[in-house]
């Protein structure tokens, strides 16, 4: 047994990819109980909304949780095209992504909107997975910490530090998403430690327990060195999560690290 304070969480964000058959293929990978054997790794699938009922049907007792990629900040009402947190709960969602950089950049989600979505998820009893991260330009300007601190602050100010008792933060540098250009383990560790320090200023105990995932071109080939970093508590995989073998290989890497196998 390893000595990590936090077990690993390995999640797959399918974005607007995948299929009904893809959900079934993932469930089939569990035919021999492979997922349940990963007892030190929490697996989560974030498929498109429409596949959530199928995830509920065929991942129900796999040990893998499922969640949505987005949620409305409103409880109910005249918001055509939106999906509420309560509706996601009805389909067994355990968590929900909020503030993914694609939502921020392509759909104009502000820090304030993201904070309200975080709160909506929390209030419905789901774990918000708050995505933060800087663009290439912001990194080159030396603004990484300022950007990440601002994104965290918006949520801390609205929801309070206690809301992070059951929340996850995903550090996803925008320049590493879908580009094949992964952050180095040191770059990831630096920002993860910074995120934890920001949360610790609000509540040290809660900060110590929060899972901070890395996302951005994570795959089998680079997972081990990233997950070996002390403040990297798992991964949020995009492209690599669409391939069952690749996704499971990252999960097995996390299990081995958690067991202290080198």
Q: What amino acid positions are annotated as catalytic residues?
A: 100, 172
From CA 148, how far away is CA 126, in angstroms rounded?
Answer: 23
- Closest of 240, 259, 258 to residue 45, by C-alpha: 240
Q: Is residue 67 close enough to count as binding ligand 13P by CB under 6 A?
A: no
The residue with tokens 């697996």 is 43
- Closest of 255, 225, 240, 114 to residue 177, by C-alpha: 240
Q: Is residue 133 close enough to count as binding ligand 13P by CB under 6 A?
A: no
| Out of 45, 88, 237, 254, the residue judged to bind ligand 13P by CB under 6 A | 237
**Letter string b/e over residues 22-35, b meaning 16 or more CB atoms within 10 A of that residue's CB:** bbeebbeebeeeeb
Q: Is residue 215 close enough to count as binding ligand 13P by CB under 6 A?
A: yes
Q: Is residue 238 close enough to count as binding ligand 13P by CB under 6 A?
A: yes
Shortest spacing between CB 217 and ligand 13P, in angstroms: 4
Shortest spacing between CB 16 and ligand 13P, in angstroms: 12
Stretch that binds ligand 13P, among 33-41, 81-89, 147-155, 211-219 (CB under 6 A): 211-219
Stretch that binds ligand 13P, among 35-43, 120-128, 150-158, 232-240 (CB under 6 A): 232-240
Classify residue 91 as exposed, middle or buried by CB count within 10 Å of its CB (0-12, 13-18, 19+). Answer: middle
- Are 129 and 237 in contact, with CB atoms under 8 Å apart? no
Number of residues that bind ligand 13P (CB under 6 A): 14
Binding to ligand 13P (CB under 6 A) within 93-132 occurs at 100
The site for ligand 13P (CB under 6 A) is made up of 13, 100, 172, 177-178, 215-218, 236-240
């Amino acid at each position: 047994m390893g000595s990590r304070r936090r077990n690993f969480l390995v999640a797959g964000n399918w974005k607007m990819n995948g299929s009904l058959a893809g959900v079934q293929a993932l469930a089939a990978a569990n035919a021999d109980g492979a997922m349940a054997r990963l007892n030190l790794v929490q697996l989560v699938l974030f498929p498109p909304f429409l596949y959530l009922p199928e995830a509920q049907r065929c991942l129900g007792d796999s040990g893998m949780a499922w969640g949505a990629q987005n949620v409305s900040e409103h409880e109910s009402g005249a918001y055509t095209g939106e999906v509420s947190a309560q509706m996601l709960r009805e389909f067994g969602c355990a968590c929900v992504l909020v503030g993914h950089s694609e939502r921020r950049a392509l759909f104009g989600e502000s820090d304030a909107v993201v904070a309200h979505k975080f709160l909506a998820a929390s209030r419905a009893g789901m774990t918000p997975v708050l995505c933060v991260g800087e663009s290439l330009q912001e990194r080159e300007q030396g603004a990484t910490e300022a950007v990440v601190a601002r994104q965290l602050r918006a949520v801390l100010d609205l929801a309070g530090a206690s809301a992070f008792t059951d929340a996850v933060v995903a550090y996803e540098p925008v320049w590493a998403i879908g580009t094949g250009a992964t952050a180095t383990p040191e770059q990831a560790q630096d920002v993860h430690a910074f995120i934890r320090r920001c949360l610790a200023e609000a509540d040290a105990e809660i900060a110590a327990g929060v899972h901070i995932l890395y996302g951005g071109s994570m795959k089998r080939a680079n997972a081990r060195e990233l997950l070996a970093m002390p403040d990297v508590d798992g991964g949020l995989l995009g492209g690599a999560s669409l391939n069952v073998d690749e996704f499971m290989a990252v999960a097995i890497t996390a299990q081995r690290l958690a067991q202290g196998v080198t």
